[in-house]
Amino acid sequence: MKENKIQHSRGLPIIGHSISFYLDALSNVTRLQRKYGDIFSMNVLNRKVNVFLSPEITRDVFLDIDDNFSSELGWSFSIGPAFKNGLMLRDFDDHKYHRGIMQHAFRRRALEEYIKLMNPLITKWISSIKSKKRIDLYQEVKSLTLEIAFTVFFGDSNEDGKAKMVNHFTNAIRSATTPVRLNLPLTGYKRGIKAREELMKYFVEQYEAIELGDNRKDLFYELCTAKDENGNQLSSEDVAQHMIFLLLAAHDTTTSTITNSLWFLAENNGWRNKIIQESIETNLFDITSLKKAELMEALFKESIRLYPPVPISPRGIVRDCKISNYRLEKDSIIAVSPLQIHRDPRHWTDPDTFLPERFLESYDEGVYFPFAGGAHTCLGKFFASYMFKNIVGNFVKEIEFEREVEDVEISTVPIPFPKSEMLVSVNELN
């Protein structure tokens, strides 16, 4: 059978599609999809990227039964310098080894302890919201999720140490999300690389200070003390690398999911009243009860359909291979896009409309990839769901809120975030 040829779009000289992709990835890829179909290539960050938008091929790439696709090689040319050697940037046996140990930090008993740690923070946050008349919803939620992330991850870390970590982490994110990668003095990219070095140093020092038998329930302690079936543990550098990456996964992506759901509820009284009632009937601090909250689960699923935490997943090709009769060369890049599939009218009715009710009925799981898939399925997806329900549930039953601006445009790549303030008026709910 004759091989199919991948059509290529070069974009602008030198920069290719880098700028337009980062400014509006969804529109850019949709335009190319209309021109070339579900399979094409484009130049991004000085690399030729083969884009496959078929749900079937997306599933095959995630499952990767022949170990052809490297997550590390795929992500290293984008977020790699700031988040290298995090779990998502490891492959095959190495990834399996690290994930096997890290799973201890996400078992049910550990998650129950994390919920206990976050509960007083949510209560305090709600109380602070009640004292205000207007808030930027995104910034308020972001401050809470960052506080939760550091508390759940490190327990009662001192405020000075926490402030330094927040600053370093913020700079690391900026370096990973800028389309301009110049490792030169005074650039954001340079500051981000330096920030990673400082975070590594901090986590290694904290690792070495851990004392076995401490009555700690935080994730950092779990990672430092977890063992596999052979008694192997993660090294101090391993733990530091994973912590930097987990901060990214637990903070920014969760912020977007919560914010976009509350933004929807601010203009949809029917759904808001349903969520309020379910929140009253649910023990928001109990995993078993949270699992049964089907309306909040539908809200959660719809938010990550529209704004998946990882909108585009790149992989590096480790050997010459074929997929769906297309030849892929070693060292090239393949990318699949949950975001694009989730917004495709061939797979979803009214795909650009926020409709949580679609998840109260049966749906095609073969066109839904919010947490990627295969070996790299998000390790913290259940934690994300419980945290979401806890925050949203407590917010809606305590706070009356409505939009003060008509709408806000949401950037989808590399991490979903609003392009302007999400202003809402707030009052204590009687």
Question: Is the CB of residue 253 less than 8 Å from the CB of residue 309?
Answer: yes
Report the pLDDT value the prediction gives residue 387, as an integer from 0 to 100. Answer: 95
Give me the sign of the Cα torsion angle 341, 346, 347, 353: positive
Higher pLDDT, 68 or 194: 68
Query: Mean of the per-residue pLDDT values for the chain?
Result: 90
Higher pLDDT, 182 or 212: 212
Give the residue ranges of DSSP H helices in 266-380.
269-281, 287-291, 294-306, 338-342
Enumerate residues 6+ apart whose C-beta is below 8 A from 65.
none
What would the pLDDT profile of 101-141 be if each residue is shown by its tens digit? 999 999 999 999 999 999 999 999 999 999 999 999 999 99
Report the pLDDT value the prediction gives residue 282, as an integer from 0 to 100. Answer: 97
Report the pLDDT value the prediction gives residue 59, as an integer from 0 to 100. Answer: 97
* Residue 248, helix vs strand vs coil: helix
Beta bridge partners of 323: 326
* Alpha-carbon gap, residue 405 to 227, rounded angstroms: 51
Report the pLDDT value the prediction gives residue 70, as an integer from 0 to 100. Answer: 96
Question: Is the CB of residue 74 less than 8 Å from the CB of residue 313?
Answer: yes
Confidence of residue 157 (pLDDT cuts 50, 70, 90): low
Pairing of strands 333-336, 47-52: parallel
Confidence of residue 158 (pLDDT cuts 50, 70, 90): low
Question: Is the CB of residue 125 less than 8 Å from the CB of residue 135?
Answer: no
Question: Is the CB of residue 115 less than 8 Å from the CB of residue 232?
Answer: no
Q: Is the pLDDT of residue 175 over 80?
A: no
Pairing of strands 417-418, 410-411: antiparallel
Length of the chain: 430
Q: Record the tokens describing residue 288, joined without a space.
A: 């078993």
Confidence of residue 156 (pLDDT cuts 50, 70, 90): low
Q: Return the amino acid letter for 293.
A: A
Report the pLDDT value the prediction gives residue 32, as an integer from 0 to 100. Answer: 94
Mean local confidence (pLDDT), 207-221: 87
Express as a percent the part of the chain with pLDDT over 70. 95
* Alpha-carbon gap, residue 136 to 142, rounded angstroms: 10
What would the pLDDT profile of 368-421 be if each residue is shown by its tens digit? 999 999 999 999 999 999 999 999 999 999 999 999 998 898 887 767 888 899
Beta bridge partners of 50: 41, 334
Q: Return the amino acid letter for 112.
A: E
Comparing 76-85, 278-287, 402-411, the range with the smallest average pLDDT is 76-85
Question: Is the CB of residue 118 less than 8 Å from the CB of residue 148?
Answer: yes
Q: Is the pLDDT of residue 164 over 80?
A: no
Q: What value does the CA radius of gyration of the chain take, rounded to a whole number of Å? A: 22
Report the pLDDT value the prediction gives residue 190, as an integer from 0 to 100. Answer: 83
Q: Is the pLDDT of residue 180 over 70?
A: no
Confidence of residue 19 (pLDDT cuts 50, 70, 90): confident
Report the pLDDT value the prediction gives residue 8, as an integer from 0 to 100. Answer: 92
What would the pLDDT profile of 345-373 be if each residue is shown by its tens digit? 999 999 999 999 999 999 999 999 999 99
What would the pLDDT profile of 242-282 be if each residue is shown by its tens digit? 998 888 777 777 899 999 999 999 999 999 999 999 999 99
pTM: 0.93
Q: Is the pLDDT of residue 177 over 70?
A: no
Of the candidates 198, 117, 192, 138, which has an alpha carbon nearest to the alpha carbon of residue 163?
198
For each of the domains in the chain, give its residue range(s) and CATH number, in order of start.
Answer: 8-428 (1.10.630.10)
